Each structure stands twice: as C-alpha cells, then as structure tokens.
C-alpha cells in the first residue's frame, strides 16, 4: 500500500477517534433473541429491529431448511437470467397481497431498493422533496439520481407546501419520506403528505421499513395505520430484515411501476438474486406476521410499560406508537458512557451519536420486540435509573 494512502486512512481514523465517534463491531454467538451472548458477555439486547421476534421463529427457520433442500444455497445469477425461482415469485405475490398492491418486487437490500426506485423515477430535470430526517439510503438515492433536492422540516406538511409552491414548474415532483423514522420512532404525517401530493401533482414514495408488521391491524404498516391505499401512496418500499425477521427488501406498487423497475433499474438488473431459501423463509414470516395480532398486542403493552417507566424517570420519549423509543441525552460522550454502564449491567442499548443524529441530540436507542418480557423491560428501567444517577449531570 502506498504511503500517501496509509497517511490518508490514518488521518481519517484519527479524526473519528478524536471526535468521540469511534464505532466497533460486536460479535453475536447464537440466534437473534433478547438474551444473547455478545463478545462473550451474556446480555439482554434492546437494540434489534426484530420487532415480532421472527428472526429466530422455528417456523421461519424450518421454511429456510426445506428450501435449502429444494434449491441449495446460492441463487447463481441475477433475477433476469436464471436466479428468479418459484420461491421468489411466491414471496412477491404474498407481499403484493400483504400491502394491497398489484405487484411487488424483491431486492437484496433496502439500500438497493431505494436507489433503484429514486433513480428510476427522477433525474436532473426533476425535484425531490425530502423529510430532513429521512434514512441515509433515501438521501444517497436522491443525490445519485441527479435530481434537485428540496428538504423540508421534519414531519412538517406546511413547510413541504411552501417548498412545493416555490419549486420549478418543469419536471416531475417526487415526495419521499420514511413511514416510521428509525432514530426517533415517530410516524410521518402520511395523510397530509398524500393530500399535498394530489394537490401539486407530485408522486408520494414511502419507505416503511420500520412500520411493516408493527402498525396496522394486520401489520400492514404506516399506510394501514392511517387507512391509506395505493391511490394515496403509489410507491411503497419495505425491508425484510426488521419486522419480517429475515433479510432483503421489496417495492410494492402498480403493474407499471414494478415492470418499469424490472426493465430499467440498474440495482435490480445487475445484482445476483437473494438465495431462494431466504425468500422461502420470508414467505413464512409474512404469513405469520399477517396473523400475529397477539404478538402486536404484547408488543404494544411492552411499549406502554417502557413509556411509563421513562416518564417516572423524567425522560422524554416519543408517543407509544412504535417499538423505537429513543432517550435523548444531548451530549455524545454522556450517551456513550451511559450505554457502557448499561452494558456492564447486562443490557445492550446502543448510543446513537452524530452524524447519524443531529449535533446535540445523541441518544440511547431502545427498541422492543414481541419476544421481550415485562420483567426484562422492568430490569432495563432499573438499570437505566442507576446508570443515569452515576452519570455527571444525571
């Protein structure tokens, strides 16, 4: 390696370290369950996005094993060559039914799905209106599309209206938002956004990665939560590695939208398909999630219990609508120190720091799963109280 490259890399690393933003990989031994062994330490994890506990569900694992026998390991090629199996086709049909859309299309990752969507829909003569707190994959997708970016204040339809009124008249208009915001746990005001899209002839795209399986009577996500259909939200994206407990992503929409992605989206055309065993496992998880009213009820009860405990500690938190319940501490060093005290007490809760969140809004990101128990939530609250009292300024 050249000396100049080494110097550049070391300088970048030193900058991160001096800013107190150093990240480290942790190694999990065993399945994705609340009680885990991380780096050799037994902990109760409150950091997973496995909201319904499907990542280690026996029925999902059994579906994967059965498909391994039928399809073996690798897909071998892109979907448009010979990587698209019967398992992929059945999963896409199930996702279309689950979301109430004409068709669905699976992708290997959520990042790829968002890149494919935005780059397919807009270019340099078009304008994209983005919530300021959108996920990084949406922000990057807009940048790479070459479209004009207009960012509006978080969850502020009136500011979006102002942006739409002042936008150039030429080109298409695309409104892009998370359904549930991953760092704050709040839900986008989708009814108002849909109304603005209709008024200004804009297209509304929702990334509902953190809404599916959790919100709505059958887990249909943010759209089902608000009673919105394909006419209100014509472009819908979701991930499979969170509430569905597997990996990958999908886009759901009209026949024309899905066929356009198949024919023109580079991230779809030039990528090897996900393994068929993964598609089969996800099909099992979609069927479980749709009928998992009992799991959603238990999860909502845990969210309310956590909220009551945070209230008792004087800690602000989002409304108890989603399993993402951040505790904003402000200072990155303090958030890191409290997260470390929790880890020492046997609880894994990540400290989220800039640039993932704005300066001054470092936080603990607590996430709950339907496979947590009330006793585990109570134990976390007790440990959090001790950690806060031990912290300067606590």
The CATH topology of domain 58-290 is 3.40.640
Q: Crossing angle for the helix pair 157-166 and 190-199, nearest 10 degrees?
A: 20
Q: Which two tokens stand for residue 368?
A: 């709950």
- Rounded to whole angstroms, the Cα distance separating 8 from 302 reads 47
Q: What does the pLDDT read at residue 392?
A: 63
Phi, psi for residue 238 in degrees, rounded to 5: -145, 160
User: Which residues are 28's β-sheet partners?
Assistant: 38
Query: Under CATH, which number does the domain 22-52+293-390 receive?
Result: 3.90.1150.10
Residue 393 pLDDT: 58
* pLDDT on residue 1: 72
Separation CA 224–CA 192 (nearest Å): 15
Q: What angle do CA 271, 274, 279 make, to 5 degrees?
A: 150
Positions marked catalytic? 182, 210, 242
pLDDT at position 297? 98
pLDDT tens-digit series, residues 211-238: 999 999 999 999 999 999 999 999 999 9
In the chain, where the domains are located: 22-52+293-390, 58-290
Going by C-alpha positions, the residue among 324, 327, 319 that lies closest to residue 363 is 327
Stretches in the chain below the pLDDT threshold 70 = 391-394
- Cite the annotated binding site for pyridoxal 5'-phosphate by residue number: 110-111, 182, 210, 239
Same fold, 22-52+293-390 and 58-290: no
Question: What distance in Å separates the CA atoms of residue 99 and residue 88, rounded to the nearest whole number?
Answer: 17
| Contacts (Cβ under 8 Å, ≥6 apart) of 279 | 67, 85, 87, 88, 90, 91, 106, 248
DSSP structure string for 52-119 = TS-TT-HHHHHHHHHHHHHH-S---SBIIIII--HHHHHHHHHHHHHHT-SEEEEES-HHHHHHHHHH
Instruction: Find the angle CA(367)-CA(182)-CA(285) to the nearest 5 degrees.
Output: 65
The pTM of the full predicted model, rounded to 2 decimals, is 0.95
């Amino acid at each position: 390696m050249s000396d100049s490259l080494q110097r550049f890399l070391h300088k970048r690393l030193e900058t991160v370290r001096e800013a107190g933003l150093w990240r480290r990989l942790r190694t999990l031994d065993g399945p994705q369950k609340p009680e885990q062994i991380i780096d050799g330490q037994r902990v109760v994890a409150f950091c997973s996005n496995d909201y319904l506990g499907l990542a280690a569900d026996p029925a999902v694992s059994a579906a994967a094993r059965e498909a391994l026998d039928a399809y073996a390991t690798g897909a071998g090629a892109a979907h448009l060559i010979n990587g698209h199996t019967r398992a992929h086709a059945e999963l896409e049909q199930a996702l279309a039914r689950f979301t109430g859309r004409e068709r669905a299309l699976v992708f290997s990752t959520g990042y790829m799905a968002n890149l494919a969507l935005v780059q397919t829909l807009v270019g340099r003569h078009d304008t994209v209106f983005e919530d300021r707190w959108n996920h990084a994959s949406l922000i990057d997708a807009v940048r790479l599309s070459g479209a004009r970016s207009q960012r509006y204040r978080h969850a502020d339809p009136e500011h979006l209206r102002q942006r739409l009124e002042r936008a150039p008249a030429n080109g298409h208009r695309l409104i892009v938002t998370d359904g549930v915001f991953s760092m704050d746990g709040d839900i986008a005001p989708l009814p108002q956004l849909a109304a603005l899209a209709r008024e200004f002839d804009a297209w509304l795209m929702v990334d509902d990665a953190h809404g599916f399986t959790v919100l709505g009577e059958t887990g249909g996500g943010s759209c089902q939560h608000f009673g919105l259909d394909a006419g209100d939200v014509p472009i819908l994206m979701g991930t499979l590695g969170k509430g569905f407990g597997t990996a990958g992503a999908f886009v759901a929409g009209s026949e024309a939208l899905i066929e356009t992605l198949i024919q023109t989206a580079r991230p779809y055309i030039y990528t090897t398909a996900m393994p068929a065993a993964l598609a089969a496992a996800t099909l099992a998880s979609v069927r479980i999630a749709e009928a998992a009213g009992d799991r959603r009820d238990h999860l909502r009860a845990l969210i309310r219990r956590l909220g009551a405990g945070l209230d008792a500690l004087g800690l602000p938190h989002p409304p108890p609508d989603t399993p993402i319940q951040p505790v904003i501490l402000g200072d990155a060093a303090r958030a890191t120190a409290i997260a470390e005290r929790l880890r020492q007490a046997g609880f894994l809760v990540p400290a989220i720091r800039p640039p993932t969140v704005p300066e001054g809004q470092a936080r603990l990101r607590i996430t709950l799963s339907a496979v947590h128990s009330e006793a585990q939530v109570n134990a976390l609250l007790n440990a959090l109280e001790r950690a806060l009292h031990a912290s300067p300024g606590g």
